[in-house]
Amino acid sequence: MSRSIETLNSIVSNIEKVIVGKRKAIELILMCLICDGHALIEDVPGVGKTSIVSSLAKSINASFKRIQFTPDILPSDITGFTMYNQKEGTFEYRPGSVMSQIILADEINRTSPKTQASLLEAMEEKQVTVDGVTYNLPSPFMVLATQNPVEYLGTYPLPEAQLDRFFMKISIGYPEKSEECDILSRFHTENPLDYLKPVVDCDNILSIQNDVKNVHVDRTINNYIVDIVSKTRYHSDIRLGASPRGSLSLFRASQAWALYNGRDYVIPEDVKYVSIPVLSHRIILKQEAKLKKILPEEIIDSIVRSVNVPVVDKYAKK
């Protein structure tokens, strides 16, 4: 476990050579990676969404593709297509952009629902099917999608089924004044991303993904997670609550956060810490709540506060 913690800290430190003052966002993205999940990064332009993704790919020495989503992009551009080879007399598969380990789906809400849906199989089952033939994606595989939360003209909101496939929704936010001054100094003569070197390889990530699954979760913590998720299904301001996939994601994220903090067991504070990024995008608010400008994050926070925190005599594995 100590080796996994050392590896994770080295990745965070390496990304911070490029990204200033956004340690929480970096850590949450890393949690998605070691949980074999995907991240939706929702924030205004220019705060470093693309830079974080590029830095992550370089830090773990993973293959990286950026897909710039536009209204005219086709599903075959994502998944690939088959074409007839006249010389060989056979059909050949031409891989699409999704055939990579780290995928940046830039401005995913700017493409049509049909093209958005082409990512569903890849995100859930780590494979694509083209003309009846299934092709496995490389491991580790992670989609990091970005979208602008304040610009709606010419966009196609992600459907609930696709939102539910994102392990977390993460916001980066504006930097503090001192941090922005550091950014100006750091980028004064060159872009540090151009010189960023790998600190681990993908085999290390696959090993950590297995370590996460071995983190102990007491049954009372299971009940705690289910109590939180269940309350989203009966809340007065929520039209559609989180699914069992949300419970599984909260369970796995709690394991990852415990591992990152040097424990081989989960405590209630782990569940609390990851509940908002894991659950806030999985609930659909009623229209009345939207008119009151109530945020999903506020509701998840109030739900977590309302659920009794379990008391466990012993968290360690038996």
Distance CA(24)–CA(27), nearest Å, equals 5
pLDDT of amino acid 100:
93
The pLDDT score that the predictor gives to residue 151 is 66
Task: Return the pLDDT at 152.
Answer: 66
pLDDT at 89: 78
Q: What is the pLDDT of residues 182-230, one digit of tens each?
A: 989 888 888 889 889 999 999 999 999 999 999 999 999 999 999 999 9
Residue 315 in this model has a pLDDT that exceeds 60? no
Q: Is the pLDDT of residue 113 over 50?
A: yes
211-227 residues labelled b (16+ CB within 10 A) or e (exposed)? bbeebebbeebeebbee
Question: What does the block give as tokens for 255?
Answer: 């394991």
Per-residue pLDDT of 2-18, as tens digits, reads 888 999 999 999 999 99
**Which tokens hold the place of 229?**
């998720």
**Mean pLDDT of the chain, nearest integer:** 90
pLDDT at 148: 82
Secondary structure class of 1 (helix, strand, coil) = coil
Can you tell me the distance from the alpha carbon of 93 to that of 98, in angstroms, rounded to the nearest whole number? 13
pLDDT band at 48 (very low <50, low <70, confident <90, very high): confident
Which residues neighbour 40 within 8 Å (Cβ) at sequence distance 6 or greater? 108, 145, 146, 147, 158, 163, 166, 168, 169, 170, 281
- 253 has a pLDDT exceeding 90: yes
- Residue 292 pLDDT > 80, yes or no? yes
Q: 259 and 1 in contact (C-beta within 8 Å)?
A: yes
Least confident of 17-26, 86-95, 145-154: 145-154
- Cβ contacts of 195 within 8 Å, gap of 6 or more: none
pLDDT tens-digit series, residues 114-163: 888 888 889 989 999 888 889 999 999 999 999 887 766 667 888 888 88
Q: Is the pLDDT of residue 314 over 80?
A: no
The token duo for 298 is 């506020």
Instruction: DSSP for 162-217, please give it.
Output: HHTT-SEEE---PPPHHHHHHHHHHTSSS-GGGG---SS-HHHHHHHHHHHHTSB-
The answer to whether 144 and 105 are in contact (CB under 8 A) is yes
What CA–CA distance (Å, rounded) separates 93 from 85? 10
Q: Determine the angle formed by the axes of helices 2-15 and 49-59, rounding to 10 degrees.
A: 130
Token pair for 64: 């990286």
Predicted pLDDT of residue 318: 47
pLDDT at 316 > cutoff 80: no
104/119 Cα distance (integer angstroms): 12
* Confidence label for 92 from pLDDT (cuts 50, 70 and 90): confident
Domains of the chain, each with CATH number or no CATH: 1-210 (3.40.50.300), 215-309 (1.10.8.80)
Q: Residues 29, 224, 218, CA angle at the centre, nearest 5°? A: 85
